[in-house]
Amino acid sequence: MTPTYRHFHRLAWAAVLLAFAIVVFGAFVRLSNAGLSCPDWPTCYGRATWPVHEHEVAQANAVFDRAVESSKTWREQFHRHLAATLGLLILILSLIAARRRPQGLASIGVAAALVAISIVAYIKQMYTPAATLAVSGELILLISAIRWSNNDYSRLATVTLMVVIFQAMLGMWTVTWLLKPVVVMAHLLGGMATFSLLTWMAWGSTPDTALVQGIAPKLRRLLWIGLALLVLQIALGGWTSSNYAALACGSEFPRCLGQWWPAHDFREAFVLWRGIGVDYEGGVLDGPARVAIQLAHRGMAVLVFGHLLIVAIRMITTHGLRYWGVVLAVLLCAQVALGISNVIYSLPLWVATAHTAGAALLLFVIVGLLARLRAPE
Protein backbone atom coordinates (compact mmCIF):
# COMPACT_ATOMS: atom_id res chain seq x y z
CA MET A 1 0.00 0.00 0.00
CA THR A 2 1.24 3.47 -0.90
CA PRO A 3 0.13 6.63 0.93
CA THR A 4 -0.77 9.68 -1.14
CA TYR A 5 1.45 12.06 0.83
CA ARG A 6 5.16 11.61 1.45
CA HIS A 7 4.97 12.70 5.09
CA PHE A 8 1.92 10.55 5.84
CA HIS A 9 3.92 8.02 7.85
CA ARG A 10 5.46 10.76 10.00
CA LEU A 11 2.02 12.09 10.90
CA ALA A 12 0.91 8.52 11.62
CA TRP A 13 3.85 7.97 13.99
CA ALA A 14 3.05 11.23 15.78
CA ALA A 15 -0.50 9.94 16.25
CA VAL A 16 0.83 6.61 17.58
CA LEU A 17 2.94 8.36 20.21
CA LEU A 18 0.05 10.61 21.23
CA ALA A 19 -2.37 7.66 21.39
CA PHE A 20 0.03 5.76 23.62
CA ALA A 21 0.36 8.77 25.93
CA ILE A 22 -3.44 9.07 26.11
CA VAL A 23 -3.90 5.38 26.94
CA VAL A 24 -1.33 5.58 29.75
CA PHE A 25 -2.57 8.91 31.10
CA GLY A 26 -6.16 7.65 30.89
CA ALA A 27 -5.18 4.70 33.07
CA PHE A 28 -3.60 7.13 35.53
CA VAL A 29 -6.82 9.17 35.61
CA ARG A 30 -8.97 6.09 36.15
CA LEU A 31 -6.72 4.47 38.77
CA SER A 32 -6.36 7.73 40.73
CA ASN A 33 -10.19 7.82 41.02
CA ALA A 34 -10.45 10.99 38.95
CA GLY A 35 -12.85 9.59 36.36
CA LEU A 36 -15.84 11.52 37.73
CA SER A 37 -13.91 14.61 38.81
CA CYS A 38 -15.65 16.54 36.00
CA PRO A 39 -19.40 15.85 36.37
CA ASP A 40 -20.27 17.22 32.91
CA TRP A 41 -19.00 16.54 29.37
CA PRO A 42 -17.20 17.78 27.30
CA THR A 43 -16.80 20.78 29.60
CA CYS A 44 -15.58 20.54 33.19
CA TYR A 45 -17.92 22.35 35.57
CA GLY A 46 -19.13 24.31 32.56
CA ARG A 47 -15.62 25.37 31.53
CA ALA A 48 -13.41 24.48 28.58
CA THR A 49 -10.56 24.02 31.07
CA TRP A 50 -11.38 23.48 34.78
CA PRO A 51 -12.02 25.62 37.88
CA VAL A 52 -8.73 26.95 39.25
CA HIS A 53 -9.24 30.12 41.26
CA GLU A 54 -11.23 30.25 44.49
CA HIS A 55 -14.16 32.18 43.01
CA GLU A 56 -14.35 29.67 40.11
CA VAL A 57 -14.39 26.75 42.53
CA ALA A 58 -17.05 28.41 44.67
CA GLN A 59 -19.20 29.10 41.61
CA ALA A 60 -18.84 25.50 40.41
CA ASN A 61 -19.74 24.12 43.84
CA ALA A 62 -22.88 26.27 43.88
CA VAL A 63 -24.11 24.95 40.52
CA PHE A 64 -23.03 21.28 40.54
CA ASP A 65 -23.83 18.57 43.08
CA ARG A 66 -20.32 17.15 43.03
CA ALA A 67 -17.78 19.33 44.84
CA VAL A 68 -14.65 20.37 42.97
CA GLU A 69 -11.54 18.32 43.80
CA SER A 70 -8.80 20.57 42.49
CA SER A 71 -6.16 17.83 42.57
CA LYS A 72 -8.26 15.65 40.25
CA THR A 73 -10.26 17.87 37.88
CA TRP A 74 -7.22 18.89 35.84
CA ARG A 75 -6.38 15.22 35.20
CA GLU A 76 -9.75 14.40 33.68
CA GLN A 77 -10.06 17.55 31.56
CA PHE A 78 -6.43 17.48 30.41
CA HIS A 79 -7.02 13.89 29.28
CA ARG A 80 -10.00 15.08 27.25
CA HIS A 81 -7.91 17.81 25.61
CA LEU A 82 -5.26 15.26 24.67
CA ALA A 83 -7.97 13.03 23.18
CA ALA A 84 -9.40 15.96 21.21
CA THR A 85 -5.94 16.72 19.82
CA LEU A 86 -5.58 13.10 18.73
CA GLY A 87 -8.99 13.29 17.08
CA LEU A 88 -7.89 16.30 15.02
CA LEU A 89 -4.68 14.52 14.01
CA ILE A 90 -6.64 11.45 12.89
CA LEU A 91 -9.02 13.73 10.97
CA ILE A 92 -6.01 15.21 9.13
CA LEU A 93 -4.74 11.71 8.32
CA SER A 94 -8.19 10.76 7.01
CA LEU A 95 -8.41 13.84 4.80
CA ILE A 96 -4.94 13.20 3.38
CA ALA A 97 -5.67 9.53 2.72
CA ALA A 98 -9.04 10.21 1.07
CA ARG A 99 -8.16 13.33 -0.90
CA ARG A 100 -7.84 11.47 -4.22
CA ARG A 101 -11.00 9.43 -3.75
CA PRO A 102 -14.21 10.56 -5.49
CA GLN A 103 -15.95 12.89 -3.01
CA GLY A 104 -13.30 11.83 -0.47
CA LEU A 105 -12.68 15.22 1.10
CA ALA A 106 -16.39 16.03 1.07
CA SER A 107 -17.34 12.77 2.78
CA ILE A 108 -14.79 13.16 5.57
CA GLY A 109 -15.49 16.87 5.95
CA VAL A 110 -19.27 16.52 6.13
CA ALA A 111 -19.03 13.65 8.63
CA ALA A 112 -16.64 15.62 10.85
CA ALA A 113 -18.88 18.69 10.67
CA LEU A 114 -21.95 16.68 11.71
CA VAL A 115 -20.09 15.26 14.70
CA ALA A 116 -18.83 18.72 15.70
CA ILE A 117 -22.35 20.15 15.52
CA SER A 118 -23.64 17.20 17.57
CA ILE A 119 -21.23 18.13 20.39
CA VAL A 120 -22.56 21.70 20.41
CA ALA A 121 -26.12 20.35 20.45
CA TYR A 122 -25.25 18.05 23.35
CA ILE A 123 -23.81 20.94 25.37
CA LYS A 124 -27.11 22.79 24.80
CA GLN A 125 -28.93 19.67 26.10
CA MET A 126 -30.49 18.91 22.70
CA TYR A 127 -29.85 15.22 23.17
CA THR A 128 -31.97 13.70 20.39
CA PRO A 129 -30.60 15.99 17.63
CA ALA A 130 -27.09 15.45 19.00
CA ALA A 131 -27.44 11.67 18.78
CA THR A 132 -28.96 11.88 15.28
CA LEU A 133 -26.12 14.06 14.00
CA ALA A 134 -23.41 11.86 15.52
CA VAL A 135 -24.92 8.67 14.11
CA SER A 136 -25.30 10.31 10.69
CA GLY A 137 -21.63 11.28 10.69
CA GLU A 138 -20.59 7.75 11.61
CA LEU A 139 -22.79 6.28 8.86
CA ILE A 140 -21.18 8.53 6.24
CA LEU A 141 -17.76 7.33 7.35
CA LEU A 142 -18.88 3.70 7.35
CA ILE A 143 -20.27 3.91 3.81
CA SER A 144 -17.08 5.63 2.64
CA ALA A 145 -14.87 2.98 4.24
CA ILE A 146 -16.86 0.23 2.53
CA ARG A 147 -16.65 1.93 -0.87
CA TRP A 148 -12.93 2.67 -0.78
CA SER A 149 -10.08 0.20 -1.02
CA ASN A 150 -7.09 0.42 1.30
CA ASN A 151 -4.37 0.88 -1.32
CA ASP A 152 -3.76 4.43 -0.11
CA TYR A 153 -4.91 3.93 3.52
CA SER A 154 -8.18 5.76 2.89
CA ARG A 155 -10.21 2.86 4.32
CA LEU A 156 -7.98 2.30 7.36
CA ALA A 157 -7.78 6.01 8.18
CA THR A 158 -11.56 6.37 7.86
CA VAL A 159 -12.20 3.39 10.13
CA THR A 160 -9.76 4.88 12.66
CA LEU A 161 -11.70 8.16 12.56
CA MET A 162 -14.92 6.23 13.17
CA VAL A 163 -13.40 4.47 16.15
CA VAL A 164 -12.07 7.67 17.75
CA ILE A 165 -15.48 9.35 17.37
CA PHE A 166 -17.18 6.40 19.05
CA GLN A 167 -14.42 6.51 21.68
CA ALA A 168 -15.44 10.09 22.47
CA MET A 169 -19.03 8.92 22.93
CA LEU A 170 -17.83 6.23 25.32
CA GLY A 171 -15.95 8.91 27.25
CA MET A 172 -19.20 10.86 27.55
CA TRP A 173 -21.12 7.79 28.75
CA THR A 174 -18.36 7.00 31.25
CA VAL A 175 -19.21 10.29 32.99
CA THR A 176 -22.98 10.47 32.46
CA TRP A 177 -23.53 6.81 33.40
CA LEU A 178 -21.34 7.12 36.51
CA LEU A 179 -18.46 4.75 35.67
CA LYS A 180 -20.68 1.94 34.42
CA PRO A 181 -18.24 -1.03 34.20
CA VAL A 182 -19.20 -2.17 30.70
CA VAL A 183 -18.68 1.37 29.40
CA VAL A 184 -15.36 1.81 31.23
CA MET A 185 -14.17 -1.52 29.81
CA ALA A 186 -15.32 -0.55 26.31
CA HIS A 187 -13.57 2.82 26.68
CA LEU A 188 -10.31 1.01 27.45
CA LEU A 189 -10.78 -1.30 24.47
CA GLY A 190 -11.60 1.68 22.25
CA GLY A 191 -8.38 3.39 23.25
CA MET A 192 -6.38 0.25 22.58
CA ALA A 193 -8.17 -0.22 19.23
CA THR A 194 -7.33 3.34 18.18
CA PHE A 195 -3.70 2.82 19.19
CA SER A 196 -3.54 -0.49 17.28
CA LEU A 197 -5.08 0.92 14.09
CA LEU A 198 -2.64 3.83 14.13
CA THR A 199 0.24 1.41 14.76
CA TRP A 200 -0.76 -0.65 11.71
CA MET A 201 -1.06 2.51 9.63
CA ALA A 202 2.31 3.87 10.76
CA TRP A 203 4.28 0.66 10.21
CA GLY A 204 2.53 -0.09 6.92
CA SER A 205 3.13 3.36 5.44
CA THR A 206 6.79 3.59 6.52
CA PRO A 207 9.09 2.67 3.61
CA ASP A 208 11.33 -0.40 3.77
CA THR A 209 9.94 -1.94 6.97
CA ALA A 210 8.50 -5.19 5.55
CA LEU A 211 9.69 -8.43 7.17
CA VAL A 212 9.90 -11.07 4.43
CA GLN A 213 10.01 -14.54 5.99
CA GLY A 214 9.24 -18.03 4.76
CA ILE A 215 7.41 -18.79 8.03
CA ALA A 216 5.29 -15.64 7.69
CA PRO A 217 1.94 -17.43 6.99
CA LYS A 218 2.22 -19.73 10.02
CA LEU A 219 3.62 -17.02 12.25
CA ARG A 220 0.85 -14.63 11.25
CA ARG A 221 -1.75 -17.22 12.28
CA LEU A 222 -0.07 -17.59 15.66
CA LEU A 223 0.08 -13.82 16.05
CA TRP A 224 -3.60 -13.40 15.19
CA ILE A 225 -4.47 -15.97 17.86
CA GLY A 226 -2.18 -14.18 20.30
CA LEU A 227 -3.82 -10.85 19.44
CA ALA A 228 -7.29 -12.27 20.12
CA LEU A 229 -6.17 -13.69 23.47
CA LEU A 230 -4.46 -10.42 24.42
CA VAL A 231 -7.55 -8.37 23.58
CA LEU A 232 -9.67 -10.68 25.74
CA GLN A 233 -7.17 -10.30 28.58
CA ILE A 234 -7.21 -6.50 28.24
CA ALA A 235 -11.02 -6.60 28.40
CA LEU A 236 -10.80 -8.71 31.57
CA GLY A 237 -8.30 -6.23 32.98
CA GLY A 238 -10.71 -3.38 32.29
CA TRP A 239 -13.53 -5.36 33.86
CA THR A 240 -11.36 -6.08 36.91
CA SER A 241 -10.46 -2.42 37.34
CA SER A 242 -13.95 -1.01 36.71
CA ASN A 243 -15.45 -3.42 39.26
CA TYR A 244 -12.70 -2.65 41.80
CA ALA A 245 -11.70 -6.31 41.92
CA ALA A 246 -7.92 -5.89 41.63
CA LEU A 247 -7.44 -6.62 45.35
CA ALA A 248 -10.28 -9.13 45.71
CA CYS A 249 -7.75 -11.81 46.66
CA GLY A 250 -5.96 -9.60 49.17
CA SER A 251 -2.20 -9.30 48.81
CA GLU A 252 -1.61 -13.01 48.19
CA PHE A 253 -0.19 -14.61 45.08
CA PRO A 254 -0.62 -17.20 43.63
CA ARG A 255 -3.15 -18.15 46.32
CA CYS A 256 -6.31 -16.13 46.84
CA LEU A 257 -7.60 -15.38 50.33
CA GLY A 258 -5.46 -18.20 51.66
CA GLN A 259 -6.90 -20.77 49.22
CA TRP A 260 -6.26 -22.05 45.72
CA TRP A 261 -9.97 -21.91 44.83
CA PRO A 262 -11.85 -19.63 47.25
CA ALA A 263 -15.58 -18.92 47.31
CA HIS A 264 -16.59 -17.21 44.08
CA ASP A 265 -19.64 -16.17 42.06
CA PHE A 266 -19.03 -16.16 38.31
CA ARG A 267 -22.71 -15.69 37.49
CA GLU A 268 -22.90 -12.36 39.33
CA ALA A 269 -19.39 -11.32 38.34
CA PHE A 270 -20.08 -11.01 34.62
CA VAL A 271 -23.48 -9.33 34.48
CA LEU A 272 -22.75 -6.66 31.87
CA TRP A 273 -25.86 -4.50 32.19
CA ARG A 274 -27.45 -3.40 35.47
CA GLY A 275 -29.46 -0.42 34.26
CA ILE A 276 -28.69 3.29 34.30
CA GLY A 277 -28.54 5.56 37.33
CA VAL A 278 -26.37 3.44 39.61
CA ASP A 279 -23.17 5.10 40.84
CA TYR A 280 -20.44 2.49 40.29
CA GLU A 281 -17.64 4.50 41.93
CA GLY A 282 -16.14 2.11 44.46
CA GLY A 283 -17.94 -0.89 42.93
CA VAL A 284 -21.26 -2.58 43.70
CA LEU A 285 -20.30 -6.30 43.65
CA ASP A 286 -19.89 -8.44 46.75
CA GLY A 287 -16.69 -10.31 47.65
CA PRO A 288 -17.29 -13.65 45.88
CA ALA A 289 -18.17 -11.89 42.60
CA ARG A 290 -15.01 -9.80 42.73
CA VAL A 291 -12.98 -12.91 43.53
CA ALA A 292 -14.42 -14.60 40.43
CA ILE A 293 -13.32 -11.67 38.26
CA GLN A 294 -9.82 -11.80 39.71
CA LEU A 295 -9.59 -15.57 39.18
CA ALA A 296 -10.69 -15.20 35.55
CA HIS A 297 -8.10 -12.48 34.94
CA ARG A 298 -5.32 -14.61 36.43
CA GLY A 299 -6.35 -17.72 34.48
CA MET A 300 -6.43 -15.86 31.17
CA ALA A 301 -3.03 -14.33 31.98
CA VAL A 302 -1.52 -17.82 32.14
CA LEU A 303 -3.02 -18.69 28.74
CA VAL A 304 -1.83 -15.44 27.10
CA PHE A 305 1.65 -15.77 28.58
CA GLY A 306 2.04 -19.38 27.43
CA HIS A 307 0.91 -18.73 23.87
CA LEU A 308 2.90 -15.53 23.32
CA LEU A 309 6.01 -17.05 24.91
CA ILE A 310 5.87 -19.86 22.33
CA VAL A 311 5.57 -17.21 19.59
CA ALA A 312 8.51 -15.27 21.06
CA ILE A 313 10.71 -18.37 21.20
CA ARG A 314 9.79 -19.20 17.60
CA MET A 315 10.88 -15.73 16.51
CA ILE A 316 14.09 -15.81 18.58
CA THR A 317 15.14 -18.95 16.68
CA THR A 318 14.33 -17.35 13.30
CA HIS A 319 16.95 -15.24 11.56
CA GLY A 320 15.66 -11.73 10.97
CA LEU A 321 13.07 -11.89 13.75
CA ARG A 322 15.34 -12.45 16.74
CA TYR A 323 15.19 -8.84 17.93
CA TRP A 324 11.39 -8.71 18.00
CA GLY A 325 11.24 -12.14 19.63
CA VAL A 326 13.44 -10.89 22.47
CA VAL A 327 11.36 -7.72 22.81
CA LEU A 328 8.15 -9.75 23.00
CA ALA A 329 9.61 -12.10 25.62
CA VAL A 330 10.90 -9.21 27.76
CA LEU A 331 7.56 -7.39 27.61
CA LEU A 332 5.71 -10.58 28.56
CA CYS A 333 7.89 -11.16 31.62
CA ALA A 334 7.66 -7.51 32.64
CA GLN A 335 3.86 -7.55 32.30
CA VAL A 336 3.57 -10.64 34.50
CA ALA A 337 5.89 -9.06 37.08
CA LEU A 338 3.80 -5.87 37.11
CA GLY A 339 0.59 -7.87 37.52
CA ILE A 340 1.99 -9.79 40.49
CA SER A 341 3.37 -6.56 41.99
CA ASN A 342 -0.10 -5.00 41.79
CA VAL A 343 -1.37 -7.73 44.10
CA ILE A 344 1.57 -8.08 46.48
CA TYR A 345 2.04 -4.32 46.99
CA SER A 346 -1.71 -3.49 47.07
CA LEU A 347 -2.04 -1.70 43.73
CA PRO A 348 0.54 1.13 43.77
CA LEU A 349 -0.59 3.80 41.31
CA TRP A 350 2.59 3.79 39.23
CA VAL A 351 2.65 -0.02 38.99
CA ALA A 352 -1.01 -0.22 37.96
CA THR A 353 -0.47 2.51 35.35
CA ALA A 354 2.65 0.74 34.04
CA HIS A 355 0.59 -2.46 33.75
CA THR A 356 -1.72 -0.71 31.27
CA ALA A 357 1.30 0.67 29.41
CA GLY A 358 2.70 -2.87 29.20
CA ALA A 359 -0.49 -4.13 27.59
CA ALA A 360 -0.30 -1.33 25.00
CA LEU A 361 3.32 -2.15 24.23
CA LEU A 362 2.46 -5.81 23.70
CA LEU A 363 -0.22 -4.69 21.24
CA PHE A 364 2.33 -2.46 19.53
CA VAL A 365 4.72 -5.39 18.94
CA ILE A 366 2.05 -7.87 17.80
CA VAL A 367 0.18 -5.43 15.53
CA GLY A 368 3.46 -4.13 14.13
CA LEU A 369 4.54 -7.65 13.23
CA LEU A 370 1.20 -8.42 11.59
CA ALA A 371 1.42 -5.21 9.56
CA ARG A 372 4.92 -6.04 8.23
CA LEU A 373 5.27 -9.82 7.92
CA ARG A 374 5.23 -10.96 4.31
CA ALA A 375 5.85 -14.30 2.64
CA PRO A 376 8.45 -14.34 -0.17
CA GLU A 377 7.10 -13.54 -3.64
281 catalytic per annotation? no
Q: Which of 76, 252, 268, 377 is catalytic?
A: 76
* CA–CA gap between residue 292 and residue 268 (Å, rounded): 9
In order of 302, 337, 344, 345, 359, the CA distances from 351 in angstroms are 20, 10, 11, 9, 13
- CB under 8 Å to 166, separation ≥6 — which residues? 138, 190
Measured N-to-C along each axis, helices 127-147 and 104-123 cross at an angle, to the nearest 10 degrees, of: 160
Alpha helices (H) in the chain, listed in sequence order: 8-31, 54-63, 70-98, 104-123, 127-147, 154-176, 181-205, 216-242, 266-269, 287-316, 322-344, 349-372
| 103/143 Cα distance (integer angstroms) | 12
Q: What is the DSSP letter of 212?
A: E
Measure the N-to-C terminal CA separation of the chain; round to a whole number of Å.
Answer: 16
Catalytic residue annotation? 76
